[in-house]
Amino acid sequence: MMSDTRPLRSVTPTIDIYIKLAQYPILCDLIRVRMREELFRRGIITQKEFESEVKRKAMESQRREGLMDPYSQEEANIWNKRKERIRDFQTDAYFANNLGSPVLEAIIDEVLYSQPSTSHGPELKFNPEIAPWELLFQQGEIYETLPPQEQEQVHHHLQEIKVVLIKRMISDQLPFIAVAKQVFVMSDLRRIYQRLIGTGKIGGKAAGMMLAWRILQQKDPEFGPDMSNQVGIPDSYFIGSEVIYEFRLANKLNNFMNQKYRPLDEIRKQYPVAVQAHLDGQFSEAVVDQLREVLMHMGNDPLIVRSSSLLEDNFGFSFAGKYHSYFLPNQASFEENLAALLEAIKRIYASTLNPDALLYRRHHGLIDYDERMAILLQRVRGKQYGRYFMPTLAGVAFSQNPFRWNAKIRREDGFIRLVWGLGTRAVDRVENDFPRMIALSHPRLRPETTARAIRQYSQWHVDLIDLEDNTFKTMPVRDVLKPDYPELRYIASQDKGDYLQSIMAAGMVKPSDRLVLTFDTLTKDAQFVKLLRTALRRLESGYKTPVDTEFTVEIVENYPYPDYKLHILQCRPLSQRTDEQTAVPIPTDIPEPDTLFRAYEMVPDGRAEGVRYIIFVDPEAYYTIPDTATRSDLGRAIGHLNKLLEDEIFILMGPGRWGSTNIELGVPVSYADIYNTKVLIEMAVVKDGQSPELSYGTHFFQDLVESGIYSLPLHLGDGKGLFNWDFFRNAPNCLSSISPKDARLADYLKVIDVTAVAGDHRRVNILMNGITDEAIAFLVTGEWPRNDTKKGQVSHF
């Protein structure tokens, strides 16, 4: 009679699990530990609830066995043994009823293969693609500790292990992997894994921060002097990109996933509903418990909760400013701080459905991508000053400087926008406020030259955290900055009226003195400039493409000169236009009647040819608009025209700062209102012979670059350029025929059809030469396609 070799099987799932585990009498304890971890991780039951059940059932079993006083009638070792057995029974039951045999088989395989090979031979004994986490980490760590000669033999296996780990929890983008596998070490990858909450990847923003930090930590002489001690990152945790799926599934929010295919007006209308639905949702106990542990680790230090989607800050599209981030002062009770943290995460999840983000994705051909949002939790870098908390220095830095306000400036040395306080004022277009613009090739060379202009185009407000009020605030600099501020001499100068005086020592400043944030002492310090310039060069070299990065800098007092500590907050490839590989020649023989304008400052490289429509907001008329409602309507009307003229080549011209949060400073538009334009021209009235602050480096400017839109400042009244007022003011206005519902705004908003003014075969060409800092717009005759929608091409790495 033949023996039955089929595996033992029962009629109940729990006994199936028990039979499988009985085949591993030594390893079953470790297997059950992993089974419980999986139950807790998936939120099937929390560890607290599980242990409470174990205790209750253990006491019930005591009573069944005749123990009436379980605390005094049973010794501690017996009681613990009883609980261990009940714990095993409960583990098997929960696992069988919720996860089943296939998941158990995977855990058994993981445990069986959890002992890495110590062989130094060329063959790897397992498949990294399906290997458990711990096996990958341990095997990679063994390879990294080998002597150089032996490590060379297994280098290809080490690379494969790194790539598998990078794809599992960081990014599956091939350009990112190509860089990351060369610079990450196993301890970096284990650190990320240990700080990962839930499952999935850590997202683009977190990935860029970690990669930039590791590039700057390299100590190989090939990369120059060691700067690893001068560079750090904030204390960080990561919520995996799969948690948003679990959250939406548990709270029945999947109905919002088709929002991206709706018309823009419907998206805008439904967005507040989507936000409230997310706020009403609840996280699993497993996620909440892990976030409790994070808060316990962070204490009462202020936090920032940052979006980190898989599409964000990647080697393709930056999504700059499209998703939300939130500062949490973290000064209330523990439960209140936890509630604030959970709300911030929900709001970031909801921001994946905001109109600007969805339109950005649609415009860049990304709408069908299943966007997944991870979360980056960070301790805010900074220090306390009285009741306030903020960094001394923060900003955004670029390894290439595309705008030069002086011919001496070298593009390749980079450029920074620097502020005092939280860096939000460096990346957002804010009301009547100006970060310090520093060209790192010539840091002391300012766009402004007179004391009056420097004062006018300086930082007037500071973003900070008020610890006493437990809130994020924007406050006037004069209300916060006092003579006792420890780093005063590095960031401020004394306002003496006709001139600004550097502060040599704190004692020379009186409470009544007027202060201006100039950062002049820093720009004179070669060590500070070298730190930023060197970091940017190394990052560009490591990424193999220009980059931009957000940062804070800590000033460390030392004698006789201070030291500086750079903290990387995020880093991403810098989008650049590639449609102009050579300088555009500027013609000198254009008749004056055919010339619409000439500009000679802050000119990019490029061209816009065959422009038929000009959307023109007269600066003088705009500032006579009597109410903010009309100005808001004007912004909406431009959004209507942006859609109606999407198959035509058109440009936008208007006063002040496009995209400013202050309606007094410029037309209130967002990316969704201007993304089809070819050129966005900011018409600025120059005062005191000086140029207003550049938009370069803001999130709004990044949108323009990535959409192939040229940004051109036009300084009126500086005595250098030319502007053909007769053409713009005398041209017929075809606003009412193109957008009848906006006809009432015709006094402020003009749509010029060039063919109606100059003839059917006439168009406008705009040529821009960044080397000579010169641009010209002029009428030209030619044969033109009826609907040529080609835009400037953008290179995305």
Whether residues 551 and 644 share a domain: the answer is no
In-domain check, residue 678? yes
Whether residues 478 and 498 share a domain: the answer is yes
Whether residues 360 and 407 share a domain: the answer is no
SS3 at position 526? helix
Q: How many domains are there within the chain?
A: 4
Whether residues 611 and 687 share a domain: the answer is yes
In-domain check, residue 141? no
In-domain check, residue 45? yes
Cβ contact 391:423 at 8 Å? yes
Sign of the C-alpha dihedral, residues 603, 606, 612, 613? negative
Cβ contact 197:247 at 8 Å? no
In-domain check, residue 161? no
In-domain check, residue 334? yes
Whether residues 318 and 280 share a domain: the answer is yes
pLDDT at position 117: 64
pLDDT at position 113: 67
pLDDT at position 704: 66
Task: Write down the H helix ranges in 170-311.
Answer: 174-183, 186-194, 204-217, 243-250, 264-279, 285-298
Q: Which of 572, 605, 628 is at the close of a domain?
A: 572
pLDDT at position 721: 79
Which residue ranges in the chain fall short of pLDDT 50? 1-11, 580-581, 687-692, 694, 696-697, 699, 788-797
Q: Which of 138, 132, 93, 130 has the alpha carbon at shortest distance from 113?
A: 132
Tally of helices (H runs) and strands (E runs) in the chain: 30, 30
Residue with tokens 């940062």: 551
Whether residues 619 and 749 share a domain: the answer is yes
Whether residues 295 and 429 share a domain: the answer is no
Whether residues 534 and 607 share a domain: the answer is no
Whether residues 350 and 467 share a domain: the answer is no
CB atoms within 10 A of CB 254: 10
Whether residues 463 and 373 share a domain: the answer is no
pTM score of the predicted model: 0.74
In-domain check, residue 332? yes
Whether residues 371 and 438 share a domain: the answer is no
Q: Which of 572, 607, 638 is at the close of a domain?
A: 572
Cβ contact 399:541 at 8 Å? no
Q: Which of 379, 398, 419 is at the close of a domain?
A: 379
Whether residues 363 and 465 share a domain: the answer is no
In-domain check, residue 218? no
pLDDT at position 516: 92
CB within 8 A of 19, min separation 6: which ones? Answer: 7, 8, 9, 10
| Cβ-defined contacts of 750-755 (< 8 Å, 24+) | 750/614, 750/615, 750/616, 750/617, 750/618, 751/613, 751/614, 751/615, 751/616, 751/641, 752/613, 752/614, 752/615, 752/616, 752/728, 753/612, 753/613, 754/611, 754/612, 754/613, 754/614, 754/779, 755/612
> What residues make up the domain containing 281?
239-379
In-domain check, residue 511? yes
